[in-house]
Amino acid sequence: MLAIAIASAKQIPLGAELVHHANTGNQAITPELSFYLQGLLDVSDVPGLSVGVVRLSGKGEVETEYGSWGNMTEDGDKVTHETLFNIGSCSKAFLSAAVGILIDDFAQGKNVTALPPKLHEWATEKANVKDILSHVSGLPRHDVSYAPGDTISDMIHKMQHLKPVCELRERWYYNNQVTSLGYLMFAPH
């Protein structure tokens, strides 16, 4: 899987920095790809980008490659493989991929039993991971229920007070809060 995040400020890009953490001779970030990405920067007014490739070797070991091109600030600081980009809702795809990796058989639709107590019955007894990731939980957007300073834990705690507007799986409603439940897979509560 190749993921690219592109910054939004306008700058003149610099040369590429490549970091390889695997020496298999089978590199994903080739000189041709590097040349192509640099060309995209040159013609698109994109100031910088970073590419990360994660894959399993033939021996089952994790291999990573990183490449970066251009600037991350107006002062000319270069993008590195550790530069953080604001990618917004693209992170939802990462959550879905992580869930797919963590669940042996996604088709079984395991219940979301690791949720904190006091959430609605739909969440703790009936909803499954697929319901949450496909936005058919019954909860609409409750964007005013959280504030810029709230943590993910705060958002999850507030979910116990949110009311669904329809039954589970009855209707699709886009909802940012339910994707925050992915946090529970990685953090104790």
What's the one-letter identity of residue 79?
Answer: V
Encode pLDDT of 164-174 as tens digits.
888 889 999 88
Residues whose CB falls within 8 Å of the CB of residue 3, separated by 6 or more in sequence, listed in order = 51, 52
Q: Is the dihedral of CA 92, 100, 169, 164 positive or negative?
A: negative
Backbone angles phi and psi of 42, in degrees to 5: -65, -35
Give the pair of three-digit tokens for residue 79.
Answer: 């993008």
pLDDT of amino acid 66: 92
How far apart are alpha carbons 76 and 98 in whole angstroms? 34
How far apart are alpha carbons 3 and 174 in whole angstroms? 24
> Could you say which residues of the chain have pLDDT below 50?
1-18, 20-23, 105-106, 189
Q: For residue 166, give the nearest of 136, 138, 147 by alpha carbon.
A: 138
Residues whose CB falls within 8 Å of the CB of residue 168, separated by 6 or more in sequence, listed in order = 122, 126, 127, 131, 136, 137, 138
Q: Is the dihedral of CA 145, 150, 156, 158 positive or negative?
A: negative
